[in-house]
Amino acid sequence: MGMTSKAALAGDSLAGRTVLVTGAGDGIGRMAAVAYARHGAEVVLLGRTVAKLEAAFDEIVQAGCREPAIYPLDLACATPSDYAELATNIQGKLGRLDGILHNAAVLDLLTPLEFHPTEVWEQTLRANLTAPFLLTQACLPLLKAAPDGVLIFTSDECAVRPKAYWGAYGVSKAGLDHLALMWAQELDKTAVRIHVVDTGPVRTEMRLRTHPGAAAAAWPPASDLMDFYVRLMGPEGVAYRSLRVQAQEVAGQQGTTQADAGARRKSV
């Protein structure tokens, strides 16, 4: 399942942009961070595990890209003041922020709601829902000041189709969808645009844990999504403004114009 179109992306399509990626230590987050750097962005790597962030840092530098910034932060326990400090540091050290990819997510277990541990419930909602709210709120002045501010939220099928046993993760993803789309309405008259991406089945560590025994080889690797994630973060993303995008549909639009693709999104 490729995300490419007949029009190739320019290698410097994100040049001059500063992008913050949450969950940048592995999976889709790490691949997106590297892809953004390869296309010219200055990247801020945010995650809770320093060793993983350092590995992403090394990959970006070894690719000959601009040196990224590392910002360790545990979203499950971060406070509003932590996010305010993050925004202040970005402003002071980097001078701007053009986009955020909200990709970090916690899924500790699948269990009936009847037996769902309260502590796990609260931590999952804090990491998956409260954190994107607080982080966006803290960084919104920077995004509004950017010529083309971008917020991308990685979503999941369970956000719109409730599934038994998915507990706090499913609830948090449903809430994240609503949060993003509410912000899209509120920011409609600004230069900030919102994208919600339902990736569909992707061969990530999380999906391998939640679907043991499934035919994992049939799932596309996360690398197949990167062309699309770069397009959304760059100027071409204007065609998908403020709409929930299903990655599988985009894959079937190879060769269409961006205007056609944008028009189709209106029905999603």
Catalytic center residues: 169
Bridge-partner residues for 152, per DSSP?
101, 195
Nearest to 98 by CA among 59, 28, 43, 176: 43
The bridge status of strand 149-155 relative to strand 243-246 is unpaired
Residues near 230 by beta carbon (within 8 Å), at least 6 away in sequence: 9, 13, 14, 32, 35, 36, 39
Say how many C-beta atoms besides its own lie within 10 A of residue 79's C-beta: 9
Nearest to 20 by CA among 107, 77, 87, 74: 87
Sign of CA dihedral 55, 124, 86, 190: positive
How far apart, in whole angstroms, are the C-alpha atoms of residue 35 and residue 14?
Answer: 10
Burial of 147 from C-beta contacts in 10 A (0-12 / 13-18 / 19+): exposed
3-state secondary structure of 268: coil
Amino acid identity for residue 224 in this structure: D
Residue 163 falls in which region: left (phi positive, over 0), alpha (psi -120 to 50) or beta: beta
